Structure 1
Amino acid sequence: MLFMVGIEKPENKNSAWGIVVPVFEELGYGCVSAADSQAELLYRAKEAILTMAEEVIADGHMISALDRGFADYQADYPSFERWLAVEVPVEGLKGKQKRVNITLPEPLLARVDAYVGFHNEFKDRSDFLAKAADRFMQNS
């Protein structure tokens, strides 16, 4: 799906590049991010779109409701001087579970199972591994 992404140039060398994806506001969400360098803009924009699309789906909205294609948001976002049309494959985000086969050392698997057994915030081993992977990627 095509998303229009606004880019705000940093005010000085100690500021970040601003990123906005206005189409999410139509469903009552805000989608903003920042990048430390110009080279990082596309990655951070796609990351923000995918993260917000997952939230939209989890809340029961159809992601196809956001399909606006090329749109001009310049008048509503004058501080965002540059605009990118970014293709992000959100159609595959259906919220369905997918079985994967992974290999873990037995001692690690035992530790994971023990941890999950004592922490009620995880439904099961798969839930723990999914949340751990997501947290790791958000923190990097």
Structure 2
Amino acid sequence: MLFMIGIELPENDTQAFGFVVPAFDALGYGCVGAVDEEADLLAQAKLLILDMAEEVIADGKLLASLDQGYCEHSAEYPEFTRWIALDVPVEQLKAAQKRINITLPEPMLARVDAFVETKNEYKDRSDFLAKAADKLMAC
């Protein structure tokens, strides 16, 4: 998923580089960090995003809610003068699995299985159903 990262440049050598990830604001989370070295900025931002995404999952919220893509935030955050787009694989994070029992008509189940067999992005039937439900609820 693509995240916009705002960077606040230090005014002198004794200050750190600050960064903000506005995508989490929509869910009521703040996501800010700081690093001493500019070279560490992307790695630390990625780690912070993954940590925050785990919190989103633990709180029962949908990761799809964070998907804002490439968008402008400089008016909301004027102190952050540089913006970068960072791709972070938050989709790989999963909450604890729970087995459920569902009933589907046999023809539909056969269609689902045939579809999953032809698509590499789904590990199995359960993965497909979970992603389909996630996508439908995000609308």
TM-score (normalizing by structure 1): 0.68
Distance 1:95 1:66 in 2: 16
Structure 1: stretches of 5+ with no match in the other structure: 98-140
Distance 2:17 2:31 in 1: 14
Q: Which runs of 4+ in 1 moved over 6 A?
A: none
1:48 partnered with 2:48: yes
Kindly state the Cα deviation for residue 36 of structure 1 after the two structures are TM-superposed.
Answer: 0.7
Q: CA RMSD in A?
A: 0.9
Structure 2: stretches of 5+ with no match in the other structure: 98-139
Kindly state the Cα deviation for residue 5 of structure 1 after the two structures are TM-superposed.
Answer: 0.2
Which deviations, in whole Å up to 9, do the C-alpha atoms of 1:35-65 show, x marking residues without a partner?
A: 1111000011101101100001100001011
| Equivalent position of 1:37 in the other structure | 37
Alignment of 1:6-45 (within 5 A): 6-45=6-45
How high is the sequence identity, in percent, across the aligned residues?
A: 59
| Equivalent position of 1:138 in the other structure | none
Distance 2:69 2:20 in 1: 16
1:69 partnered with 2:69: yes
Distance 1:20 1:86 in 2: 12
Alignment of 1:1-140 (within 5 A): 1-96=1-96
SS at match of 2:90: coil
Which deviations, in whole Å up to 9, do the C-alpha atoms of 1:61-96 show, x marking residues without a partner?
A: 010111110010000000100001000000011123
Distance 1:13 1:82 in 2: 18
